[in-house]
Structures are given as structure tokens and as C-alpha cells.
């Protein structure tokens, strides 16, 4: 039996490696070097593979289910901080819209050449319930404050997510 294992192991190992490359291919295919969000995508995918391993019948650990739950918590935390707009800025903007109304965006001609052709446009915004300069100033203050608070909460949650991983990752092996 040991002799058979010695001869078949290289083939089984090669098969496992090819299978591993194929399961990573969709994730790696989407990766772009210039966008940090793919770092999270790759980390989340790795954690998902590890969680699935712990939920299978393959681990030796008696605490496999607990480990899988911890990994799932890490995945959930990373998903939340993966896109600051969905979980942080968008809800903050919705609060502003409730108070001040919707914002309309228009591109208006800004610069023309000597023939009158538009060279550049300027982005103009109009907020529904902002009618005076005082209201515009108040809205601008609230906008900056709201976005700043959303970004701060995003950073706090991101730090917590990575600290959670750092605290637990050394236990996630079998």
C-alpha cells in the first residue's frame, strides 16, 4: 500500500494543484493591479475556500465548525468594508436627501473657443430644498460632516475587520 501511495502521490498532487488553479481562475481573471478592491476580493475568496474546507468532512480539528464560524465572521466584516459607498456613504447621503431633498446634476458650458464651440463643461448641482446662500452654506457644512463621519466609521470598521483576522488567523489551520 505504501509503495502504491509513493507512485500515485505525484499524480494526485498534480491533480489537486490544477484543480486549485481552476477554482482561483475566475477571481484572478478579474484582478487589476491598479485597484485595491481586488485585494479584498482575493482575501475574501481565500477565506471562503478555507471556510468551506472547515465545513466539509476533511478537517481533523474538533473545532472545525467554530473555526468556520470565525472565518465567516471575518468574511462578513470584509464584505461590509469592501465597498464604503454601499454601507457608509450611501446611507449618509440618504439622510441628507431626507432633509434637503434630491440633488440634480447638470453639465453647463464653461469655456468656449473663438468660434463659440464648447471646450469644457462645469458640473453644477441643485439641491431641492436649498434656495438661499445661507441654506447652501448649511447644506455644505452638513454634507462635509456627514461624509466625514461615514468615512471615519468605514475606517474604524475596516481596522476592526483586519484586527479580527490578525487575532484569529493563526488558529485557522488544520
Q: Are 112 and 119 in contact (CB under 8 A)?
A: yes
Q: 11: closest CA among 49, 23, 19, 22? A: 19
Q: Are 61 and 67 in contact (CB under 8 A)?
A: yes
Q: For cell 480539528, name the residue.
A: 61
pLDDT at 145: 97
Rounded to 10 degrees, what is the CA torsion of 105, 108, 110, 113? 140
C-alpha cell at 170: 493563526
pLDDT at 6: 83
Angle at 63 between CA 62 and CA 66, to 5 degrees: 155
> Which parts of the chain have pLDDT scores under 50?
none
pLDDT in tens, 67-92: 999 999 999 999 999 888 889 999 99
pLDDT at 1: 60
pLDDT at 161: 97
Q: E strand or H helix at 95, and its extent? A: helix 90-100
Q: Give DSSP secondary structure letters for 55-75.
A: HSS----TTHHHHHHHHHHHH
- Sketch the domain layout of the chain as residue ranges: 45-100+129-171
Q: Are 136 and 125 in contact (CB under 8 A)?
A: no
Q: How many CB atoms lie within 10 A of CB 157?
A: 16
Q: For cell 447644506, name the residue.
A: 139
Question: CA-to-CA distance for 96 and 93, rounded, in angstroms?
Answer: 5
Amino acid at each position: 500500500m505504501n509503495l502504491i501511495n509513493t507512485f500515485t502521490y505525484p499524480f494526485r498532487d498534480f491533480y489537486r494543484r490544477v484543480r486549485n488553479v481552476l477554482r482561483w481562475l475566475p477571481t484572478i481573471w478579474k484582478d487589476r493591479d491598479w485597484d485595491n478592491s481586488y485585494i479584498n476580493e482575493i482575501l475574501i475568496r481565500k477565506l471562503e475556500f478555507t471556510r468551506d474546507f472547515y465545513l466539509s468532512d476533511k478537517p481533523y480539528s474538533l473545532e472545525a465548525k467554530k473555526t468556520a464560524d470565525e472565518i465567516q465572521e471575518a468574511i462578513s466584516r470584509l464584505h461590509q468594508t469592501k465597498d464604503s459607498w454601499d454601507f457608509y456613504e450611501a446611507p449618509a447621503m440618504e439622510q441628507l436627501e431626507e432633509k434637503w431633498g434630491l440633488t440634480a446634476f447638470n453639465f453647463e458650458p464653461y469655456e468656449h473657443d473663438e468660434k463659440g464651440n464648447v471646450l469644457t463643461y462645469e458640473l453644477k448641482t441643485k439641491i431641492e430644498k436649498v434656495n438661499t446662500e445661507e441654506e447652501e452654506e448649511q447644506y455644505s457644512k452638513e454634507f462635509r460632516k456627514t461624509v466625514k463621519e461615514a468615512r471615519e466609521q468605514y475606517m474604524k470598521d475596516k481596522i476592526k475587520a483586519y484586527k479580527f483576522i490578525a487575532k484569529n488567523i493563526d488558529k485557522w489551520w488544520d
